[in-house]
């Protein structure tokens, strides 16, 4: 699998040199300038997430970039010591509001043969006073994530900025990576379904799906990854035709219209896998049709649907 992959150091320099105000076209151009033989496409931005930030003083001067490390050094978990030493300091806790920009590039014939680059766009926000005299937490954990502050108004501090998150070679992730067992089986089946379906002849999977990755440590302390496919542009997708009264030619028309809107054949099936619950009734309706007088699915897609009927799964 020959690939022209930008190095983490080069991607970090791009992030340091560009400001988000430059726009996604500028970021995409900069990423592709690092790998001209392997053009990447910006396919998705996923926002709405937050993570812990740092500590600043009342004048917004930096005390620490990492609130967890600072608290550990300041009091080693001793709340009484923290209150005694910093109760009157007026320090403020910050939080990072983030978006993740996904870039993908195909590098082979199989659905899983692609590279995924994630670049974060971060804005630091002043969340709250580090120590509130009207609410004294019982532990460091309560101080880091106070329930009373979850809906508090936050103010930006400084400019937003880019930060390189990671590059993922998806074939390596599936073959030898740290993906946990259940997620790995689902991912491999999802890729196999794409490879064996009519979608494979019309589009690269990485043009329509990315992998949402979440790292964690298992009970043995080993770093593991939860990975699940995430549809590109799903907020623009039409509703799946799950009307229980829709059958036959009308259902076929709705399915073909859905596929055209999303951009590839059999799109309704892959969308269904990512939307549990009522959408499964759609598969039942199609199977009932195809056991009768109707024949509106290619044979390869019908085989996948029958396999799903025998052994359902979701992503």
Beta strand 161-169 with 209-217: parallel, antiparallel or unpaired? unpaired
H/E element, 301: helix 299-310
pLDDT tens track for 5-62: 999 999 999 999 999 999 999 999 999 999 888 899 999 999 999 999 999 999 999 9
Q: How confident is the model at residue 110 (pLDDT cuts 50, 70, 90)?
A: very high
> Does residue 184 sit in helix, strand or coil?
helix
Distance, in Å, from the CA atom of 8 to the CA atom of 123, rounded to the nearest integer, reads 21
Q: What is the C-alpha to C-alpha distance for residues 91 and 130, in angstroms, rounded to an integer?
A: 6
The reported pLDDT for the residue numbered 149 is 58
What is the pTM (predicted TM-score) of this model?
Answer: 0.90
The Cα angle at residue 74 between residues 72 and 76, in degrees rounded to 5: 45
3-state secondary structure of 109: coil
Residue 235: band (very low, low, confident or very high) from pLDDT cuts 50, 70, 90 = confident
* Mean pLDDT calculated for residue range 94-103: 97
pLDDT band for position 151 (cuts 50, 70, 90)? low
- Which residues, in sequence order, are bridge partners of residue 211? 229
């Amino acid at each position: 699998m020959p690939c022209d992959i930008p190095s983490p150091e080069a991607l970090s320099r791009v992030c340091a040199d560009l400001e988000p105000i430059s726009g996604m076209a500028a970021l995409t151009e900069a990423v592709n300038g690092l790998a001209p033989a392997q053009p990447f496409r910006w396919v998705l931005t996923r926002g709405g997430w937050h993570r812990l930030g740092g500590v600043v003083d009342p004048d917004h001067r930096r005390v620490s970039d990492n609130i967890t490390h600072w608290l550990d050094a300041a009091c080693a978990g001793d709340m009484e010591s923290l209150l005694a030493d910093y109760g009157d300091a007026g320090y403020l806790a910050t939080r990072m509001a983030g978006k993740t920009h996904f870039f993908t590039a195909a590098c082979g014939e199989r659905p899983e043969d692609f590279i995924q680059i994630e670049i974060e766009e971060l804005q630091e926000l002043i969340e709250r006073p580090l120590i509130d005299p009207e609410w004294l937490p019982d532990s460091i954990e309560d101080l880091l994530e106070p329930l009373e502050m979850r809906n508090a108004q936050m103010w930006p501090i400084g400019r937003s900025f880019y930060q390189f998150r990671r590059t993922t070679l998806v074939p390596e992730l599936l073959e030898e990576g740290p993906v946990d067992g259940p997620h790995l089986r689902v991912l491999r089946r999802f890729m196999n379904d794409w490879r064996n379906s009519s979608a494979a002849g019309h589009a690269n999977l990485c043009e329509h799906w990315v992998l949402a990755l979440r790292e964690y440590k298992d009970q043995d302390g080993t770093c593991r990854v939860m990975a699940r496919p995430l549809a590109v542009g799903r907020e623009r997708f039409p509703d799946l035709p799950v009307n229980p009264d829709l059958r036959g030619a009308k259902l076929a028309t709705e399915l073909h219209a859905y596929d055209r809107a999303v951009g590839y054949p059999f799109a309704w099936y892959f969308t269904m896998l990512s939307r549990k619950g009522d959408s499964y009734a759609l598969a039942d309706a199609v199977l009932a049709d195809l056991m009768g007088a109707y024949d509106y699915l290619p044979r390869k897609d019908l085989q996948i649907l029958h396999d799903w009927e025998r052994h359902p799964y979701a992503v």
